[in-house]
Amino acid sequence: MNSIVAIVGRPNVGKSTLFNRLIQRREAIVDDVSGVTRDRHYGKSDWNGKEFSLIDTGGYVEGSDDVFEEEIRKQVILALDECDIIVFVVDVTSGITPLDETVAILLRKTKKPVYVAINKVDNAMREADAYEFYNLGLGEFYTISSINGSGTGELLDAMVSEMPEVDTESTDINPGDELPRFAVVGRPNAGKSSFINALIGKDRNIVTDIAGTTRDTIDTVYNKFGFDFKLVDTAGIRKKSKVKEDIEFYSVMRAVRAIEYCDVAILMVDATRGFEGQDQNIFWLAQKNRKGIVILVNKWDLLDKETNTMKKCEEMIRKEIAPFTDVPIVFTSTITKQRLLKALETAVEVHKSRSNKIPTSKLNETMLELIQNYPPPAVKGKYIKIKYCMQLPTPTPQFAFFANLPQYVREPYKRFLENKMREIYDFKGVPITIYFRQK
């Protein structure tokens, strides 16, 4: 499981610029799915071979310092709860402000690693001004310029040194005999808590408690409807204490944490509201993290239905999640207990598909014949020949196709191959990745 890094600080110190610079390193690889709504405050990055998730708290607070002091305080507390590493950005040109001091007081109480990044240090004079920030009482600092990137390498080196070595085989996905980990995610009031209560019942049929991971979450093993599974508790969205509190920021943070920790994300959508932008963002988070996905359209009992209401609703959702449309959609009601067993069964099936391993001989037999009948289109008079393919030894389904001119294989052809693989092998609800490599 990857570490989660939060970038915190008061407005206008350059948090978003730093965020953009850090995710740029992986942008070309990570964002290879066209036509997907991006949450501009969440990204994945890697440095020295360690991948991590990055959250920019900056995009969620706009306005004057005084109005938002309370808001920023809440965000920092939330970031401390949910993240593994904190990057505290300050601005050398304005020195230490009262708001910086407020944030520093909160950060001094945590046992989690905190990195002070002093931004806008782009000359020797400003380098000297940076020493003032020792007064924040947070120890060492890093002088950076997020506009031109200077100093970010040292900051990243220090950050990744705190990150655990990830043994992908054992942590990213459960081995065959391990139980599936499900996370119920979605917008506030979609019915997540009711679904969890219906799944585990008031008398919580607990088999064992597995002690928390580094983030103090506890995977509890449940047995319900004849299935054993672990539930990654998303702990629900806390009640809004003030109308101003940004619930969207909260739900993204919760979703990131829960999704990083699960094998299958059960995305709950409120049927009375439809599939909204926030649902799309959470779907994209799960896809980007290569998790299995099941969409539950909840509160189905509240809708006035005609003959093809379900079909229309399903078509609408598939249009929103394109191009990855091979995802099971189940219509549920936690009140009438309608199709809850079906929802759990589907999640278990998706979990099994996610650990599918296809023998190389079988894969070549099927795919090479198909490629021969439908070869990639020639580019600039050059013919692309694909000679061999294999499934990579990764925890999630990833495939390499070896070709003479891999750089000329276009996105539509990749999608064609992916769709054919989905038809032939069962990958419903599972993001798969296809790479083209030089033979």
What is the tens place of the pLDDT at every residue in 316-356? 999 999 888 999 999 998 888 888 889 999 999 999 999 88
435 is in an annotated binding site: no
Does 28 appear as a known binding residue? no
Give the Cα separation of 351 and 335 in Å (integer). 26
Class of domain 360-438: alpha beta
47 is in an annotated binding site: no
> Which pLDDT score is estimated for 176?
47
Q: Rounded to whole angstroms, how far apart are CA atoms 252 and 258?
A: 10
Q: Is 137 annotated as a binding residue?
A: no
**How far lies 93's CA from each of 65, 121, 125, 160, in Å?**
16, 8, 11, 28
Q: What is the pLDDT of residue 171?
A: 39
Confidence of residue 252 (pLDDT cuts 50, 70, 90): low
Question: Does 26 belong to an annotated binding site?
Answer: no
- Confirm whether residue 203 is marked as ligand binding: no
Q: Which of 86, 173, 197 is nearest to 355 (CA)?
A: 173
Say what the pLDDT of residue 257 is. Answer: 77
* Residue 300 known to bind ligand: yes
Longest dimension (CA), the chain: 72
CA distance 401 to 391: 9
Q: Do domains 181-355 and 360-438 have the same CATH topology?
A: no
**Per-residue pLDDT tens over the stretch 116-153:** 999 998 888 888 888 899 999 898 899 999 888 888 99
pLDDT surpassing 60 at residue 363: yes
**226 labelled binding-site residue:** no
- For 37, the token pair is 């709504």
Whole-number pLDDT of residue 206 = 41
Q: What does pTM read for this prediction?
A: 0.71
What is the fold, at CATH topology level, of the domain defined by 4-162?
A: Rossmann fold (3.40.50)
Q: Is 190 annotated as a binding residue?
A: yes
Residue 311 annotated as part of some ligand binding site: no
* Cα–Cα distances in angstroms (integers) from residue 75 to residues 57, 69, 103, 146, in the given order: 7, 10, 10, 22
11 marked among binding-site residues: yes
Sheet holding 292-298, edge to edge: 206-210, 219-224, 227-232, 181-186, 264-270, 292-298, 329-331
385 is in an annotated binding site: no
Which residue carries 């002091």 as its tokens? Answer: 69
- At 47-92, the pLDDT tens digits run 888 888 888 876 555 555 555 677 777 778 877 887 889 999 999 9
The answer to whether residues 33 and 324 touch, using CB atoms and an 8 Å cutoff, is yes
Q: 178 or 300: which carries more pLDDT confidence?
A: 300
Residues 260-294: tens digit of each pLDDT: 888 999 999 999 988 987 788 888 888 988 999 99
- The confidence score (pLDDT) of residue 173 equals 43
Tokens of 253: 């943070």
Lowest mean pLDDT among 65-79, 87-101, 168-182, 392-406: 168-182
Q: Is 284 annotated as a binding residue?
A: no
pLDDT tens per residue across span 26-35? 433 333 333 3
| 201 belongs to an annotated ligand binding site | no
Is residue 301 annotated as involved in ligand binding? yes
Q: Is 139 annotated to bind ligand? A: no
CA distance 281 to 413: 26
- 12 known member of a binding site: yes
Any known ligand binding at 172?
no
To the question of whether residue 56 is assigned a binding role by annotation, the answer is yes
9 is an annotated ligand-binding site residue: yes
Is 3.40.50.620 the CATH classification of the domain at 181-355? no
Type and span of the H or E element at 194: helix 192-200
Q: Is 20 annotated as a binding residue?
A: no
Q: Cβ neighbours of residue 118 under 8 Å, at least 6 residues apart?
A: 90, 91, 92, 130, 133, 141, 142, 143, 144
Tokens of 283: 């779907």
425 annotated to a ligand binding site: no
Q: What is the pLDDT of residues 294-312, one digit of tens each?
A: 999 998 888 887 778 888 9
User: pLDDT value at position 60?
Assistant: 54
CA distances from 240 to 70, 231, 243, 247 (A): 14, 25, 7, 7
| Three-state SS annotation for 139-150 | CCEEECECCCCE
What is the predicted pLDDT for the residue at 209?
43
Question: Given this model, what pLDDT does residue 59 score?
Answer: 53
Domain boundaries, the chain: 4-162, 181-355, 360-438
Is 396 annotated to bind a ligand? Reply is no
Residue 20: per-residue pLDDT: 83
Structure tokens at 227: 């299935």
pLDDT over 80 at 403, yes or no: yes
Q: Is 381 annotated as a binding residue?
A: no
